[in-house]
């Protein structure tokens, strides 16, 4: 298909598709002439992925670029792939944060975590922020959160397909980023339900 068809199918304006091509978020089409190129379903799929990462996962184009780079050039092992996906995703946290508290939580949970892991620094930053606003979170509270999330993560990792390399890559990268809004929305909904139960409100 040509660029206008790609645009029509995905609802993304042609100038924006061109912009993504320039930015390297979308691979170039197969050139058939100086002013003609062909795009296929792979391009359409990639374009949908980029839009979903931007609109739903709220990623910046820079983060999207890192994510699709991980998709295009995946590390050798699935475990490393997960690490690459986590490195690509925001929030970026400086290397020099004090991860002591976060490491304590992880230890309490008995998890095996690389001490340079990006999520570890993100957790450390979040803990520090809670302290800064005068709402410190104790290790046992954080461990309760962690234990609640354990079965979810285990199920997710168990669902990673091992049959095909590409399937695994897509699943890990997309799943990590696109399920975050799902988790956040469900947490908020669960809060509303719990709040309705506790404070007793009539819902229309």
Partner DNA sequence: AGCATTGGGTAGCGGTACTATCCATGTCAA
Partner DNA sequence: TTGACATGGATAGTACCGCTACCCAATGCT
Instruction: Compute the least distance from the CB of residue 64 to DNA, in Å.
Output: 8
Instruction: Compute the least distance from the CB of residue 16 to a copy of itself, in Å.
Output: 16
How many CA within 13 A on the CB side of residue 188?
5
Instruction: Compute the least distance from the CB of residue 143 to DNA, in Å.
Output: 33
Other CB atoms within 10 A of residue 200 CB: 7
Q: Does 104 bind a copy of itself (CB under 8 A)?
A: no
Cα–Cα distance for residue pair 163/125, rounded to 1 Å: 37
Identify residues 1-30 at the interface with DNA (CB under 7 A).
2-5, 13-16, 18-19, 21-22, 28-29
Q: Which does 4 bind (CB under 5 to 8 A by kind): a copy of itself, DNA, none?
A: DNA
Instruction: Compute the least distance from the CB of residue 28 to DNA, in Å.
Output: 6
Q: Between 37 and 75, whose beta carbon lies closer to a copy of itself?
A: 75
Cα–Cα distance for residue pair 21/5, rounded to 1 Å: 15
Q: Between 165 and 188, whose beta carbon lies closer to a copy of itself?
A: 188
Q: Which of 63, 56, 74, 52 is nearest to 23 (CA)?
A: 63
Stretch that binds a copy of itself, among 20-28, 31-39, 67-75, 169-177 (CB under 8 A): 169-177
Q: Between 3 and 174, whose beta carbon lies closer to a copy of itself?
A: 174
Beta bridge partners of 46: none
Cα–Cα distance for residue pair 32/124, rounded to 1 Å: 52
Site map 30..69 versus DNA, x via CB under 7 A: -xxxxxxxxx--------------x-----xxx-------
Identify the residue among 5, 153, 164, 165 touching a copy of itself (CB under 8 A): 153
Cα–Cα distance for residue pair 80/157, rounded to 1 Å: 13
Angle at 137 between CA 135 and CA 142, to 5 degrees: 150
Query: Is the peptide bond prior to 30 cis by the omega test (within 30 degrees of 0)?
Result: no
Instruction: Compute the least distance from the CB of residue 32 to a copy of itself, in Å.
Output: 27
Q: Which of 124, 117, 182, 172 is nearest to 149 (CA)?
A: 182
Q: At which residue do the structure tokens 């949970």 appear?
A: 109
Residues that bind DNA in the complex, under the rule CB under 7 A: 2-5, 13-16, 18-19, 21-22, 28-29, 31-39, 54, 60-62
């Amino acid at each position: 298909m040509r660029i206008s068809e790609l645009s029509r199918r995905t609802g993304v304006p042609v100038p924006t598709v061109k912009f993504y091509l320039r930015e390297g978020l979308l691979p170039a089409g197969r050139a058939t002439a100086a002013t003609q190129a062909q795009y296929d379903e792979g391009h359409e799929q990639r374009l949908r992925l980029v839009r979903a990462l931007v609109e739903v996962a709220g990623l910046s184009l820079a983060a999207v670029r890192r994510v699709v780079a991980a998709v295009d050039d995946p590390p050798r092992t699935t475990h490393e792939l997960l690490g690459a996906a986590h490195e690509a995703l925001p929030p970026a946290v400086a290397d020099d944060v004090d991860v002591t508290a976060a490491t304590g939580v992880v230890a309490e949970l008995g998890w095996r975590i690389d001490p340079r892991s990006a999520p570890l620094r993100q957790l450390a930053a979040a803990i520090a922020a809670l302290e800064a606003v005068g709402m410190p979170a104790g290790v046992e509270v954080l461990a309760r959160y962690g234990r609640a999330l354990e079965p979810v993560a285990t199920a997710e990792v168990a669902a990673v397909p091992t049959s095909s390399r590409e399937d695994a890559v897509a699943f890990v990268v997309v799943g990590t980023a696109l399920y975050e809004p799902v988790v956040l929305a469900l947490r908020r909904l669960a809060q509303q339900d719990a709040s309705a139960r506790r404070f007793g409100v009539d819902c229309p």
